[in-house]
Structure 1
């Protein structure tokens, strides 16, 4: 697939065409160079609402770019992907990171010391609730939640729920829980740089050095 273009000159002058990076989507600064793989010591499975795939502010792409043990599937209410169900059914300890009345803190030693498969719903809170309610196979999983004392640094959207974090920040917290402090710091730095680059790109200019 070729690069996307932004035509600013209505007279057809090619000097008015700004090419977008086909991977990161940036027009004025490419961030692909800093998206080298990071080894994570746990399995992460993202289940994405179809609406999330079209949102330029989606932060899950940072986990998909950087974490080596990260898979993603698109949620389908009627026919969940067979490959997704196979991964869940064949894993020894699949858990859903989603707050419910019976969910436990994700910092529970019984979880962080085991070979867990963390399943994250990549969606708005309203959409995630719909995904959980309409998916019996998700409701059958044990649920855990993050218990954070700090606020989110996600600046591209308004938080829909107090003390909520974006999908990328969930990945950062999981790295910390598995004592991968350096990787968590690196991913956090990449996230902040991407947020700043996205906002600058949206305004039509490159980041100031």
Structure 2
């Protein structure tokens, strides 16, 4: 029999994180394309970000058919969107702050798209949805050190989804990212507590993953 879950954070009631989710009033709308394999992952962070952010959408799938409505919105107005993903065409987001702030001051903030999943799954989302290549793409030139040590990654300086969102909004609109990072910290501590103490030290040496 499955354990009863919280209707809000969708985690088991014994591991509910709602008390750690504080509201963040972001100005740039956040759109999270979550790979379907990530939906039930206990270590995923996208749902925490979605629940905390005032302006956010979480869309689950893999193929263009799964994201049909978003695809139509993007292709009808590609200049209104930006993808946060280190593609071959991406630019350092830190170098575009002045230009993006002008759009924000004109009340036309970019809608930011994030790919949620392991790096392999995020890359799959990128390749299966070539319509994403029609919009501006950004990567991080100087990201903070990832704190999500409970998921492995082969990507240097990889961040979890909630960390990537927090850093993007901090750079673009000077958002106080602490509510997002505190929710991540609560999830991390919860997961570490479930690991036998004899093995817990291994996770202090790991870097974060996209997830």
TM-score by length of 1: 0.78
Greater helix share, structure number: 2
Instruction: Give the aligned length.
Output: 187
Extract unaligned runs of 5+ from structure 2.
104-108, 197-211
Deviation of 1:4 after TM superposition, in Å, equals 4.5
- 1:20-67 CA distances to partner (integer Å, 9 max, x unpaired)? 534431454532123232210111111111111121111111111100
- Partner of 1:72, secondary structure, is strand
Extract unaligned runs of 5+ from structure 1.
6-18, 204-209
Deviation of 1:69 after TM superposition, in Å, equals 0.5
Q: Give the equivalent residue in structure 1 for 2:166.
A: 172
Given the alignment, which residue of 53, 74, 93 partners 1:106?
93
Q: Give the equivalent residue in structure 2 for 1:198.
A: 191
- Partner of 1:133, secondary structure, is helix
Bigger Cα displacement from structure 2, 56-65 vs 124-133: 124-133
Change in CA separation of 1:102 and 1:85 when aligned onto 2, cut-off 3 Å: closer
Larger Rg: 1
- 1:78-131 CA distances to partner (integer Å, 9 max, x unpaired)? 514332124324554211111122210112122344211111110111112122
Aligned alpha-carbon RMSD (Å): 2.4
1:84 matched to 2:77? The reply is: no
TM-score by length of 2: 0.78
Q: Give the equivalent residue in structure 2 for 1:14.
A: none
Change in CA separation of 1:164 and 1:180 when aligned onto 2, cut-off 3 Å: same
1:72 and 1:149 mapped to 2: Cα distance?
Answer: 23
Question: What pairs with 1:54-93 in structure 2 (closer than 5 Å)?
Answer: 54-91=40-77, 92-93=79-80
Ranked by relative contact order (alpha carbons within 8 Å, sequence separation 6 or more), the top structure is: 2
2:100 and 2:23 mapped to 1: Cα distance?
Answer: 25
- Partner of 2:22, secondary structure, is coil
2:66 and 2:89 mapped to 1: Cα distance?
Answer: 24
